[in-house]
Amino acid sequence: MEKFWMVWNAKGGNPTRCHKSIEAAVAEAERLARRDPGQEFYVLEALRMCQVPELPIKWSELEETLPF
């Protein structure tokens, strides 16, 4: 996975775009700040990614006689 940046507004709303460069994210933050004066927009950098792999499914044959 490649590094990316997002723009976050402290007043609410989730980031909806991943920017491939810090310059693109900064430009978007400036655009949004001009659109909504007085609101704060942060440029966030993705530093790490964590993923748990899917566990394998295990099948076993049942015995002929049931234990109950």
Question: Three-class SS of residue 22?
Answer: helix
**For residue 67, what pLDDT band results from cuts at 50, 70 and 90?**
low
Quote the pTM value. 0.71
Contact between 7 and 19 (Cβ < 8 Å): yes
Q: Which two tokens stand for residue 48?
A: 């790490």
Predicted confidence at residue 10, as pLDDT, reads 86
Predicted confidence at residue 7, as pLDDT, reads 97
Q: What is the mean pLDDT of the chain?
A: 90
**For residue 45, what pLDDT band results from cuts at 50, 70 and 90?**
very high
Predicted confidence at residue 61, as pLDDT, reads 82
Give the mean model confidence (pLDDT) for residues 2-18.
91
